[in-house]
Structures are given as structure tokens and as C-alpha cells.
């Protein structure tokens, strides 16, 4: 068994005046953290090899047995696992054994206490299986994030994310409770009106939502509650599920609309956790004692060194993890890392999620993420609403130039102001993203609003098969 609780906080909670939930781990230098990871990697590899026939076949197939891994370069020879691989392992298990726990699940079935899933927006959801120990790890990581942002027992956190099965659902609720704060798990199924009604009823100190949904709440609040959302006393906004929270213009719009300090954070796949600090220069990676982070080149999957400013597809490996540990798993996120010291004084790697590898478009050989377009346009609010679509004649990633961008005009924008605004947006896109779009203007409110997660790319009807 793996249980290794030494880096989890199991004694009394910190004093409210303590800056960190678990200072002993959260102040480790990158070198010390790397040593800890290395110490945990060997037992983790032997554990998955001994207990999961699926992993054993993969490692044997790649010719990398646990005993062969003597340095990080050896480790990087293990093939990257994808959601598609997991789906196949899951389906195989259901077919052969009649249950889904025959893939990467390593713990005995009677030790599994929670099953979660990916959002499943593309294809069959993939399952996560956790033991009580793994749940404790996730709880700890959530507590580390919210504590360093300033949340304490006595605060109320309203959770307006999709709750069903998703890691931002019940696992996040449990993490907030573990910290000792009060969670209001309102979810998003009742739409903006219900979330706003619970803001009025519970007066949350903190709101957790996607940036696009939060901006939608800002837009709707005066109509539903009769006051601007910024007057409800929310002090923290935690952006999740989309990269927008790290974009300067999106963050400013959120700060303004909510009257709150804005933090970007993630808890991707249970063991990979990060949160921004007041410097907003990337999310601090807070779960390095239970997760190894690597970057690879999208496509070739060649390792990319974790140097300051490096960008690549994120690959994670869980450490001291029992249920269904991920071994060199990619969820398809592309991240950029920062290793330079942070003004906040806390050590360790920082990262920003710049987009999804499968959302990445190629415009004349230049990488373009829809989230980056969102970031550029957000700076032009209120002259634009911030709603837009990238219109593709056929599915990407390759895009015929010019890139077609459908943009909503801001409410009450004078007709004569459009050409000048268009020139400004084209110039901002050119200088920041190296792409010169062709803009098609549409009236305010004409593009369908996202339910809880933005969809920014639209393939024209008839374009899918061509």
C-alpha cells in the first residue's frame, strides 16, 4: 500500500493568522520538492506495476519496468496516457470483468469510496476512483489553495460550478468543508437566477464559478435582484474551468463587476492543484508532494524542460496515491510555466493554462487558442460585450486565413465608432497573438450565452464533413 500521509496536515488546523495551511510543505524549495517526489516515485511505480494489469502491460510494452527507472529521463520514457487510453481501459474492464475497476484502479474494490468523472464533453466520461486516503489528499489541496487566498472558518463559499460527477463538484465541496469554511453548493443547473437568489439568501464571502458564468451573473444581477452584484459583499472570486481568470482584461472585468479580489485556480484531475497570488503571475503549483508535473510538445510528446516561460502540453503523475493513480497522464491542457521568484515570496513552480491542445488552432503556422482571443476582446468591454465566435468553414486545427471572428457590439455603441474600434481590435490581435482577423459584427445579445463553460469556436453547417 502507498499510504504516506506525512505531508498531509492531520493535526489541528492552522491558526487563522497563519498564512499557509501546511507551511512545512508549501515552503519547500523546488529542489527539496523534487527530492521528495523522487522518493515517492519508486514506490508509486512498483505499486501500479504490481496492482494494475493495465499499467503492467503498458510498462512492459514500453520496456520500462519500475526497476529500470533510475533518473527522471528514464521516467520520461513511459508513454503518455490520454483520456482515449483510459476510455479503452475502462471499456475493456466492463466487458471482461463487468465493472470499471480493472483498468488503472490499483486499490482493492472495498477500499474505493468515491468515483468521479471528467466532464465528458467529448465522448464517454473517464472515471476517477479514490480511496479515503486519496479523498484526504484532495481535501488538503483544496484547503491549501483557499487558505492562502485568505478564506478562513466562518467564511461562506458559494460554489456555482457543475456539481454532477465533476471534480469541481462534490470533491470541491468537501475540500471547502475540510478547511472549515461553509460551502453553499448551489451548482449551475438552476441557471443564473437561482445562483443569484442564493447569493441574496446566503451572502457569500466567496464565489467559485467559471469566468464566463460570473460575467453572466454580473450582467443579470441588476435585473434579478435589483442591485449590481458588486454590492452583495463578495470579497473573493475563484475562477475555475476556463483560462480567463488569468487574463488581465477578464480579471479586471470580474474585479469591477463583482467588487471582489480575483484568483485563478485549478484542481484538474484531483491531484494537480494551483492558485494565483496577488502578483497574478501564474498559479502556484501547491500539490507537488502528490503530483509530478511535466511538459511535452503537443503531437510528438517530446519532453520540454521546465524552464522559465516554457510552454507545452501538461503531463501529470500522481504520487502517494492509491485508487486510480495517473501515470504520465495528459488531460490535453497546454500550460506555460514560470520559475522566476514570485513577488509574493512563496517558492515553487507557477503555471498558466493557455488553452486546450485540441482547441489549438493553427493560423498560418501560428498557434492560436480561443481563450487568448477572449482575453484580447475583454479589454474592449463595454464597446464590445466580450461575446464572440471563431467561425471555421471546416474543423481545425488548420485555419484558412483570414481568421473569421464574429464579435458582438457593445450595447449602445455608435454606428460611426465601429470602423475605429475594428482597427483597434485587429491591431491588438496582430500585436498580441500574431493573427490578423476579419471581423464580422453582430448586435449585442445575439450570440447564445454559455451555460457554464464557454464555447468559442463554431464550425459552419456543412463544414464538418468537407
Asked if residue 20 binds Zn ion (CB under 5 A), the reply is no
Q: Give the containing element (helix H, strand E) for 304.
A: strand 303-304
Complex with Zn ion: residue 76 or 346, whichever CB lies closer: 346
Cβ-contact 341, 281 below 8 angstroms? no
Largest separation between any pair of C-alpha atoms in the chain: 70
User: Alpha-carbon distance 213 to 15, whole Å?
Assistant: 34
Q: How far is the CB of 371 from Zn ion (least distance, A)?
A: 22
User: Alpha-carbon distance 367 to 377, whole Å?
Assistant: 18
User: Alpha-carbon distance 228 to 231, whole Å?
Assistant: 6
Complex with Zn ion: residue 342 or 439, whichever CB lies closer: 342
Q: How far is the CB of 275 from Zn ion (least distance, A)?
A: 9
Q: How far is the CB of 280 from Zn ion (least distance, A)?
A: 8
Complex with Zn ion: residue 18 or 231, whichever CB lies closer: 18
Q: Give the containing element (helix H, strand E) for 355.
A: strand 350-356
Place of cell 519547500: 28
Complex with Zn ion: residue 344 or 428, whichever CB lies closer: 344
Complex with Zn ion: residue 271 or 286, whichever CB lies closer: 286
Complex with Zn ion: residue 75 or 147, whichever CB lies closer: 147
Residue selected from 277, 327, 360, 372 as contacting Zn ion according to rule CB under 5 A: 277
Q: How far is the CB of 342 from Zn ion (least distance, A)?
A: 3
Q: Which stretch binds Zn ion (CB under 5 A): 274-282, 297-305, 351-359, 362-370?
A: 274-282
CB count within 10 Å of CB 265 equals 21
The grid coordinates listed for 38 are: 523522487
Q: Which stretch binds Zn ion (CB under 5 A): 206-214, 341-349, 400-408, 429-437?
A: 341-349
Residue selected from 170, 224, 279, 426 as contacting Zn ion according to rule CB under 5 A: 279
3-state secondary structure (DSSP) of residue 323: coil
Spatial strand order of the sheet with 236-239 comes to 182-184, 156-159, 206-209, 236-239, 261-266, 274-276, 283-285, 350-356, 333-338, 311-318, 291-296, 303-304
Q: How far is the CB of 277 from Zn ion (least distance, A)?
A: 3
Complex with Zn ion: residue 334 or 342, whichever CB lies closer: 342
Cβ-contact 215, 378 below 8 angstroms? no
Q: Give the containing element (helix H, strand E) for 336.
A: strand 333-338
Choose among 12, 30, 106: nearest CA to 289.
Answer: 30
Name, in order, each residue with C-beta under 8 angstroms of 276's C-beta and a sequence gap of 6 or more.
245, 246, 263, 264, 265, 282, 283, 284
Complex with Zn ion: residue 248 or 438, whichever CB lies closer: 248
Q: How many residues bind Zn ion (CB under 5 A)?
A: 4
Complex with Zn ion: residue 111 or 279, whichever CB lies closer: 279
Q: Which stretch binds Zn ion (CB under 5 A): 221-229, 335-343, 398-406, 429-437?
A: 335-343
Q: Which stretch binds Zn ion (CB under 5 A): 18-26, 71-79, 279-287, 295-303?
A: 279-287
Residue ranges of alpha helices (H) inside 155-230 are 170-179, 191-202, 211-225
Q: How far is the CB of 251 from Zn ion (least distance, A)?
A: 15
Q: Which stretch binds Zn ion (CB under 5 A): 78-86, 249-257, 343-351, 410-418?
A: 343-351
Choose among 401, 255, 281: nearest CA to 348.
Answer: 281
Q: How far is the CB of 313 from Zn ion (least distance, A)?
A: 24
Asked if residue 342 binds Zn ion (CB under 5 A), the reply is yes
Asked if residue 344 binds Zn ion (CB under 5 A), the reply is yes
Q: Site map for Zn ion, 353-392, x if CB under 5 A? A: ----------------------------------------
Asked if residue 249 binds Zn ion (CB under 5 A), the reply is no
Q: Which stretch binds Zn ion (CB under 5 A): 59-67, 206-214, 233-241, 334-342?
A: 334-342
Q: How far is the CB of 245 from Zn ion (least distance, A)?
A: 15
DSSP 233: -
Complex with Zn ion: residue 344 or 457, whichever CB lies closer: 344
User: Alpha-carbon distance 64 to 80, whole Å?
Assistant: 13
Rg (CA), the chain: 22
The grid coordinates listed for 442 are: 453582430
Q: How far is the CB of 346 from Zn ion (least distance, A)?
A: 5
User: Which residues of the chain form contacts with Zn ion (CB under 5 A)?
Assistant: 277, 279, 342, 344
Amino acid at each position: 500500500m502507498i499510504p504516506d500521509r506525512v505531508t498531509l496536515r492531520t493535526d489541528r488546523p492552522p491558526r487563522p493568522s497563519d498564512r499557509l495551511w501546511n507551511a512545512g510543505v508549501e515552503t519547500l524549495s523546488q529542489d527539496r520538492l523534487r527530492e521528495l517526489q523522487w522518493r515517492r516515485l519508486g514506490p508509486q511505480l512498483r505499486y501500479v506495476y504490481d496492482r494494475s494489469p493495465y499499467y503492467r502491460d503498458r510498462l512492459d510494452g514500453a520496456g520500462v519496468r519500475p526497476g529500470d527507472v533510475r533518473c527522471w529521463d528514464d521516467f520520461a520514457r513511459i508513454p503518455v496516457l490520454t483520456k482515449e487510453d483510459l476510455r479503452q481501459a475502462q471499456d475493456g474492464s466492463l466487458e471482461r470483468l463487468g465493472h470499471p475497476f480493472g483498468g488503472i484502479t490499483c486499490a482493492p474494490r472495498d477500499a474505493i469510496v468515491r468515483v468521479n468523472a471528467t466532464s465528458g464533453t467529448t465522448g464517454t466520461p473517464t472515471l476517477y476512483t479514490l480511496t479515503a486516503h486519496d479523498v484526504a489528499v484532495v481535501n488538503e489541496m483544496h484547503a491549501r489553495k483557499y487558505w492562502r487566498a485568505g478564506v478562513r472558518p466562518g467564511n461562506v463559499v458559494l460554489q456555482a460550478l457543475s456539481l454532477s460527477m465533476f471534480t469541481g463538484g462534490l470533491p470541491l465541496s468537501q475540500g471547502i468543508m475540510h478547511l472549515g469554511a461553509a460551502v453553499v453548493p448551489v451548482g449551475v443547473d438552476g441557471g443564473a437566477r437561482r445562483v443569484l437568489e442564493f447569493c441574496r439568501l446566503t451572502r457569500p464571502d466567496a464565489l467559485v464559478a467559471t469566468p464566463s458564468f460570473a460575467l453572466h451573473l454580473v450582467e443579470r444581477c441588476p435585473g434579478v435582484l435589483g442591485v449590481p452584484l458588486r454590492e452583495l459583499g463578495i470579497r473573493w472570486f475563484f475562477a475555475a474551468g476556463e483560462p480567463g481568470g488569468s487574463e488581465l482584461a477578464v480579471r479586471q472585468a470580474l474585479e469591477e463587476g463583482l467588487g471582489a479580489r480575483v484568483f485563478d485556480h485549478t484542481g484538474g484531475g484531483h491531484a494537480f492543484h494551483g492558485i494565483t497570488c496577488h502578483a497574478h503571475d501564474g498559479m502556484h503549483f501547491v500539490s507537488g508532494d502528490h503530483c509530478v508535473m511535466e511538459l511535452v510538445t503537443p503531437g510528438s510528446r517530446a519532453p520540454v524542460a521546465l524552464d522559465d516561460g516554457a510552454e507545452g502540453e501538461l503531463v501529470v503523475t500522481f504520487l502517494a496515491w492509491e485508487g486510480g493513480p495517473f501515470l504520465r497522464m495528459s488531460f490535453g491542457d497546454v500550460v506555460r510555466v514560470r520559475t522566476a521568484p514570485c513577488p509574493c515570496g512563496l517558492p515553487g513552480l507557477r503555471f498558466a493554462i493557455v488553452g486546450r491542445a485540441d482547441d489549438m488552432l493553427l493560423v498560418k503556422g501560428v498557434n492560436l487558442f480561443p481563450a487568448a482571443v477572449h482575453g484580447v476582446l475583454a479589454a474592449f468591454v463595454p464597446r464590445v460585450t466580450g461575446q464572440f465566435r471563431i467561425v471555421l468553414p471546416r474543423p481545425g486545427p488548420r485555419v484558412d486565413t483570414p481568421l473569421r471572428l464574429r464579435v458582438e457590439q457593445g450595447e449602445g455603441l455608435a454606428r460611426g465608432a465601429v470602423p475605429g474600434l475594428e482597427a483597434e481590435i485587429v491591431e491588438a490581435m496582430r500585436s498580441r497573438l500574431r493573427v490578423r482577423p476579419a471581423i464580422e459584427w453582430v448586435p449585442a445579445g445575439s450570440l447564445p450565452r454559455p451555460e457554464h463553460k464557454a464555447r468559442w469556436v463554431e464550425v459552419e453547417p456543412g463544414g464538418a464533413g468537407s
